[in-house]
């Protein structure tokens, strides 16, 4: 078990993946660093998923930088030990396959959303995605963090925050804590959030208690795999 500290970097783009993390709480964003210094987030990961899972495909550098955007805890295993378990266990191979499918959906929907939908709707979507993973209406996010997630300037984020406050979707924004009104934020977001949430929920039963989630996968906590 390890702590996922706010703003911690779990893996860095271009560097070998050392560990696979299975979050028990908190939210992690997978960030792409462009050559010109800009960044944009491509996916959110929480207790429904894992960071570094694609290391099972073989030793290759991480494609994205994984940044903790809401602190929590995680189980951690070295990529080499996880790879050995992946080879031995049909259950683990099955789960990696399912997760990879869910991530591909998130990447594809995210690419379409980034190209087609207004940045205000995209910001509302990201806030909802992070809220889904921490189960709390107060999100530990700064405007700087949001500008890096969305790939827009800080001044754009300030403008968008003002708009969302006027709509009642954001209640307050102080000292890196953004308090949201979930239903009003959902009204401001594009439908991509619902589509992504449904995909993840169907595959992983994200809202089920831990034991029930393990049962869905056919594994009980403590089982030898
Ligand atoms: Zn969208």
Distance 219 CA to ligand 1 centre (A): 35
Q: Is 222 exposed, middle or buried (0-12, 13-18, 19+ CB in 10 A)?
A: exposed
- In the 8-state DSSP scheme, what is residue 61? B
Q: What residues form DSSP beta bridges with 177? A: 174
State yes or no: pLDDT of 201 exceeds 90.
no
77: DSSP letter = E
**Could you tell me the distance, in angstroms and rounded to a whole number, from the CA of residue 122 to the centre of ligand 1?**
6
Question: What value does the mean pLDDT take over residues 19-27?
Answer: 94
- Residue 203 is predicted with a pLDDT of 63
Do 142 and 101 meet the contact criterion of CB atoms below 8 Å apart?
no
Whether residue 94 is predicted with pLDDT greater than 50 in this model: the reply is yes
Q: What value does the mean pLDDT take over residues 97-107? A: 86
Half-sphere exposure of residue 13: CA atoms within 13 angstroms, side-chain side: 15
Cα 43 to averaged position of ligand 1 atoms, centre (Å): 13
DSSP 189: S
> What pLDDT shows up at residue 212?
40
Q: In angstroms, what is the span from residue 105 Cα to ligand 1's centroid?
A: 13
pLDDT at 225 over 80: no
Using an 8 Å Cβ cutoff, are 151 and 160 in contact?
no
Model confidence band, residue 204 (pLDDT cutoffs 50, 70, 90): low
Structure token pair of residue 89: 């266990």
2 Cα: distance to centroid of ligand 1 (angstroms): 33
Which residue, 2, 4, 9, is CA-closest to 148? Answer: 9
Q: Tell whether the model's pLDDT for residue 199 goes beyond 80.
A: no
Tokens of 99: 């997760």
| pLDDT confidence bin for 41, thresholds 50/70/90 | very high
Q: How far is the CA of 92 from the centre of ligand 1 (A)?
A: 32
pLDDT tens, residue by residue, 54-65? 888 877 788 899
Predicted local distance difference test score (pLDDT) of residue 152 = 94
For the stretch 142-175, pLDDT in tens is: 888 899 999 999 999 999 999 999 999 999 988 8
What's the token pair of residue 133? 């993973």
Distance of CA 112 from the midpoint of ligand 1 (Å): 7
Question: What residues sit around ligand 1, an ion, with C-beta below 5 angstroms?
Answer: 113, 117, 190, 192
User: Ligand 1 mean position to 113 CA, how many Å?
Assistant: 4
How close is the Cα of 95 to the center of ligand 1, in Å? 27
- Checking if the pLDDT of 219 tops 60, the result is no
- 1 CA from centroid of ligand 1 (Å): 35
- Phi/psi of residue 117, nearest 5 degrees: -105, 150
Residue 126 Cα, ligand 1 centroid: separation in angstroms?
A: 10
Instruction: Lay out the sheet containing 72-78: strands in order across.
Output: 2-4, 72-78, 19-23
Supply the mean pLDDT for the chain.
87
Q: How far is the CA of 136 from the centre of ligand 1 (A)?
A: 22
Of 221 and 133, the structure prediction assigns the larger pLDDT to: 133
| Residues 61/16, Cβ–Cβ less than 8 Å | yes
**What pLDDT, on a 0 to 100 scale, did the predictor assign at position 99?**
85
């Amino acid at each position: 078990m390890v702590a996922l500290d706010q703003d911690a970097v779990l893996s860095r783009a271009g560097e070998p993946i050392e560990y696979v993390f299975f979050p028990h709480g908190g939210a992690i964003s997978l960030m792409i660093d462009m050559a010109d210094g800009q960044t944009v987030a491509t996916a959110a990961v929480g207790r429904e998923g894992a960071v570094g899972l694609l290391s099972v495909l073989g030793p290759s550098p991480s494609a994205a930088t994984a940044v903790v955007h809401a602190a929590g805890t995680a189980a951690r295993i070295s990529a080499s030990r996880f790879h050995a378990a992946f080879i031995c266990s049909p259950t683990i191979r099955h789960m990696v396959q399912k997760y990879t499918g869910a991530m591909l959906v998130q990447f594809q929907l995210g690419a379409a959303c980034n190209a087609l939908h207004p940045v205000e709707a995209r910001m509302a979507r990201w806030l909802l995605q992070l809220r889904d993973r921490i189960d709390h209406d107060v999100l530990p996010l700064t405007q700087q963090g949001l500008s890096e997630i969305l790939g827009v300037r800080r001044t754009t984020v300030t403008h968008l925050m003002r708009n969302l406050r006027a709509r009642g979707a954001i209640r307050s924004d102080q000292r890196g804590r953004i308090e949201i009104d979930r239903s009003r934020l959902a009204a401001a977001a594009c439908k991509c959030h619902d589509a992504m949430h449904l995909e993840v929920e169907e595959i992983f039963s994200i809202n089920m208690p831990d034991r029930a989630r393990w049962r869905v996968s056919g594994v009980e906590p403590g089982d030898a795999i």
